[in-house]
Structure 1
C-alpha cells in the first residue's frame, strides 16, 4: 500500500521471519557464533533463549540457509505442548522416517537406523526445536535419550533448543540435570540498543531499495521508536509498518518523533478497545439485562467504549431502534441451536472411538 508511495520494492517490516532480512546485531552475531560452534562440535545441545519477537526464528532460518545439504540433514520442530508420546513421532516425521503403526521400541529403532545411514553416507543430522519452553519434562527427556545414539565415538544426532526466557528457568529445574550436562553452550538473545534499533530499521529499508529521503527519519524518531518498542525486533516491525502507513495516508515524506508517538497512542488505543470489545463482551454488552426497572438496553454503554466517533454514532443509532424482546428471542434461538449441536457431538463421542488426529498427522 505505502510501498509505491515511498518507491520501495517490497514491504520492509513484515512480521513473517525472513532470513533475507537478517540483521547482525551484537547479540544476534554472538548467538549465531554459538550455533556455528555447536555445529562444529557435532554433539550435544545448544540452547538459545530470547524474548518473544527477539529474532530467534529468523536467526535459526538464517543458519539453516547456510547449511550444506550434502553434509547436514536438518529438521525443525515447532513445539506446542508436546509430550513424550508425540515427540518421537514428530522427530521421525521431520526427518521423513516412516513411523505409522510402530510401537515405541520399533520407532526408536527406525530413527536410529536412519541416523546410522546418514553417518555412513558422510552426513550429519541436526534437529532444531523451536518454542522449546512448551515441551514437557518427559518430552525433553526423550530428546536427551536420542542424543545417546552413537556410532563408535560419533554422536548421531545434535539438537538446538530455541525458546522463550522461561526456558532458562525450566533448564535449572532438578528434572533437567541430565540434560544440562549435555548442553555445550547456551546464550540469551537480548533486545537491540538505541543505535542498533536505528541500524536495524535502515537495514530493512535498504533491503527493499530505500532512499534516505523517501521517507526520512529524524533522530528523535529513531529514539521514540526505541523507547516504544524496547528494542524488540518484532515490535519495531509492527510499529514501523504502521508508521509508514500513517505517513502514506498523511502524505508525509519526513517522519518525526511526533508521528511515532501518535501512531503508538493509536495502536495502544486499538489494543485497549480490542480487549474491551472481545466477541463475548460485545454480545454480553449488546444483550438486554434484567434489572429492577425491567429490560435495559446496554448499547449506549457500548457506544461510550468506542473512540471512533462514526462508529459510536452508528451504535447510538442502533440503540435508539433497539428491540430487546426481538434480540432476546434471536439469541435464545441461537442458544438452542448450539445446545442441540453440542448434544449431538457428545452423543457421537460416546458411541464411537476417535483416534487423536495429531498423532495421525505426526505419523504421516
Structure 2
C-alpha cells in the first residue's frame, strides 16, 4: 500500500522471519557466535532462550543457512510431537526411507545407521528445534536417548533448542535433570538497546529498497523504542503502522506524532506520556498568570 509512496520494493517490517532482513545487533550476533562456537566444538546440546518476539525463529533460520553446506540439518518448527512422531520427523528431514509401521526402536536404528554414514562423510547431524518450550516431556527424553548414539570419541548429532524462558523453568524440574546436565552452552537473547533501534529501522528500510534520507525522526524512534521495549517484532508492528499513518497523511517523514498514533492503535503497549509543556499550554499558563495579577491589582486599587 505505502511501498510506492516511500520508494520501497517490498514491505520492510513484515512479521515473517525473513533472513534477508536479519540485523545483527549485539544480542543476535552474540547468540550466533555462541551457537557456532558450540557446534564447531562438537557440543551435544545447546539452548537459546528469549522472550516472545526477540527473533529466535529468525536466528534459527539464519543458523540453518550457515550450516547447511557442512552439516546435515533436521529443522523441526513444530515441537508438539510424540517420541514416535519426533523420530519420524527426523527421518523425514534426512529423507530416509522407513517402513510405514516402523516402531520407535526401528526408527532409532535407522537414524543410527544414517548418523554413522554422516560421521564417516564428516557431515554431523544438527537438529534445530524451534519453540522447544512446548515439546512434551516424553519427546525431550527421546531426544536425550537419541543423543546416546555416539562413538567412543565423537557425538554423532547435536541438538539446538530455541525456546521461550519457560523452557528454563521446565529444565529446572527434577525429571529433566539428565537433559539439563547435558546442555553445555546457553544464551539468553536480549532485546534491542535504545541506541540500536534507529539503525535497525534504517537497515530494514534499506533492504526493502529505501534510499532516501532518515525516514523516522529521532523523537519518533524514541517513542517506538519505549513502547516496544526494544522487542524486534513489536518494533516491526509499530513501524509498519507508522508508515501506514504517514502514507495516509501524505507525509514523507515519520515524526513523533505519527509514532504516538501507531502506539495508541496497538493494544497492550505502554502508552507514550503526553508532553507537559506544549506551546499552547505555555501560552495558556501565561494568560492565567496575567489574569491573576490583573485581578489582584484591581482588588488592591479598590
TM band (smaller chain): 0.7 to 0.9
Alignment match, 1:11: 11
Q: TM-score, normalised by structure 1?
A: 0.70
1:216, distance to aligned residue in structure 2 (A): 2.3
Alignment match, 1:67: 67
Contact kept in structure 2, 1:12 and 1:205, CA below 8 Å = yes
Counterparts of 1:210-359 in structure 2, within 5 Å, are 210-213=210-213, 216-268=215-267
1:2, distance to aligned residue in structure 2 (A): 0.8
Greater CA drift, 82-91 or 241-250: 82-91
1:125, distance to aligned residue in structure 2 (A): 0.6
Counterparts of 1:51-90 in structure 2, within 5 Å, are 51-69=51-69, 71-90=70-89
Query: Is 2:22 aligned against 1:22?
Result: yes
1:137, distance to aligned residue in structure 2 (A): 1.4
CA distance in 2, matches of 1:233, 1:253: 23
Alignment match, 2:91: 92
Alignment match, 1:353: none
Q: Is the partner of 2:192 in helix, strand or coil?
A: coil
| Unpaired segments ≥5 residues, structure 2 | 269-302
Alignment CA distance shift 1:27-1:131 (3 Å): same
Greater CA drift, 89-98 or 233-242: 89-98
Counterparts of 1:108-123 in structure 2, within 5 Å, are 108-123=108-123
1:184, distance to aligned residue in structure 2 (A): 1.5
Alignment match, 2:102: 102
Contact kept in structure 2, 1:34 and 1:46, CA below 8 Å = no
Q: TM-score, normalised by structure 2?
A: 0.84
CA distance in 2, matches of 1:138, 1:64: 26
Alignment match, 1:134: 134
1:11, distance to aligned residue in structure 2 (A): 1.4
| Unpaired segments ≥5 residues, structure 1 | 270-364
Alignment CA distance shift 1:42-1:96 (3 Å): same
CA distance in 2, matches of 1:182, 1:189: 20
Contact kept in structure 1, 2:128 and 2:161, CA below 8 Å = yes
CA distance in 2, matches of 1:209, 1:136: 43
Greater CA drift, 257-266 or 84-93: 84-93
CA distance in 2, matches of 1:85, 1:107: 8
Contact kept in structure 2, 1:130 and 1:163, CA below 8 Å = yes
CA distance in 2, matches of 1:268, 1:167: 27
Contact kept in structure 1, 2:83 and 2:104, CA below 8 Å = no
Q: Is the partner of 2:52 in helix, strand or coil?
A: coil
Larger RCO (CA under 8 A, 6+ residues apart): 2
Contact kept in structure 1, 2:197 and 2:225, CA below 8 Å = yes
Contact kept in structure 2, 1:82 and 1:134, CA below 8 Å = no
Alignment match, 1:143: 143
CA distance in 2, matches of 1:187, 1:95: 27
CA distance in 2, matches of 1:149, 1:238: 44
CA distance in 1, matches of 2:265, 2:120: 59
Query: Is 2:39 aligned against 1:39?
Result: yes
CA distance in 1, matches of 2:53, 2:133: 15
Contact kept in structure 2, 1:45 and 1:159, CA below 8 Å = yes
CA distance in 1, matches of 2:108, 2:197: 46
The alignment covers a number of residue pairs equal to 267
CA distance in 1, matches of 2:115, 2:223: 51
CA RMSD of aligned residues (A): 1.5
